[in-house]
Amino acid sequence: MFTESITRLRQSLALFLFTLIYRLLFSRWTGDYDEQHSAWEGSYSGRLGPFHLDLNDCFVLDHRDATISLCLPCPCREQTAGRWGRWRWGQVRLSYAVALGEEQIRPSGWSCYLSRSPVHLVYGRLDDSSHLPF
């Protein structure tokens, strides 16, 4: 009895958060709105200040999920060849995902990860005298 009421409370809270993220994503306050569609899933994303909103709706399986993320810039160091290199800007993303439906593709809950800015590559020209074996 008690576990059933906890399950119902968790499902109603998940539905409330999903609806809130859905309405915020499709509101006029959201910027950088983007849609991507495939044969089995529709994906929507947008920004609301420092928050990043994502919504995925799977057509084939019974699954819908929404994510709200807080993206913060932070300094981080490169590590190349076992030594610490120069400082670069990275991004810390703290996010909470809500999943609805019977078939859970992506898990619900909190996640946090650090992403570093990509290394800038400089492309050069090959000399005509160099021999390539292929």
Q: Where are the domains of the chain?
A: 2-116
pLDDT by position in tens, the chain (length 134) = 678 888 888 888 888 999 999 999 999 998 888 999 888 889 999 999 889 999 998 888 888 899 999 988 888 877 666 677 778 888 889 999 998 888 778 888 899 988 876 665 556 555 555 555 55
Is the CB of residue 95 less than 8 Å from the CB of residue 76? Answer: no
* Joined tokens for residue 72: 């913060």
* Joined tokens for residue 6: 């906890």
Name every residue whose Cβ is closer than 8 Å to that of residue 131 and which is 6 or more positions away in sequence: none
The pTM of the full predicted model, rounded to 2 decimals, is 0.70
Name every residue whose Cβ is closer than 8 Å to that of residue 127 and which is 6 or more positions away in sequence: none
Is the CB of residue 88 less than 8 Å from the CB of residue 73? Answer: no
Would you give the distance in Å from CA 12 to the centre of its chain? 24
